[in-house]
Amino acid sequence: MQPFTERVIGVIRGIPAGCVMTYGQVAAAAGSPRAARQVVRILHSSSAKHDLPWHRVVNKNGEIAIREEEGNYTQRLLLEEEGVTFDPAGRIDLSEHAHTPEEDMGFER
């Protein structure tokens, strides 16, 4: 496994229930701020394998990025069960629900 992939997995595992991070925030916390798309690929290919809380990662606007209806519904349901709230437009208030990991996650960059 690539070091960046390992760091991304560690960051996602560290998102507590009731909180979210954006793809960009995960990438930055893992040491590569411009790698949000890579985070998407890692989530897609590794969520089940590594039992990741994939539902806690959203886009930069606080929206669920999954366009497929069932997946979108599932992610929203899982987040709501953890206490995450959505506005009428379907956005999460990131100032209320965003997780900010410790400054130094212990990763060599």
pTM above 0.85, yes or no: yes
Residue 56's pLDDT is: 98
Q: Which two tokens stand for residue 29?
A: 């916390």
Determine the residue type at 23: Y
Domains of the chain: 3-82 (1.10.10.10)
Residue 101's pLDDT is: 87
Residue 103's pLDDT is: 53
The DSSP call for residue 15 is P
Residue 107's pLDDT is: 52
Determine the residue type at 26: V
Q: Which two tokens stand for residue 101?
A: 């990991």
Residue 95's pLDDT is: 95
Mean pLDDT per segment of 10 residues, for the chain of length 109 residues? Answer: 94 97 97 96 94 97 96 97 97 96 57
Residue 51 and residue 81: Cα distance in Å, rounded? Answer: 18
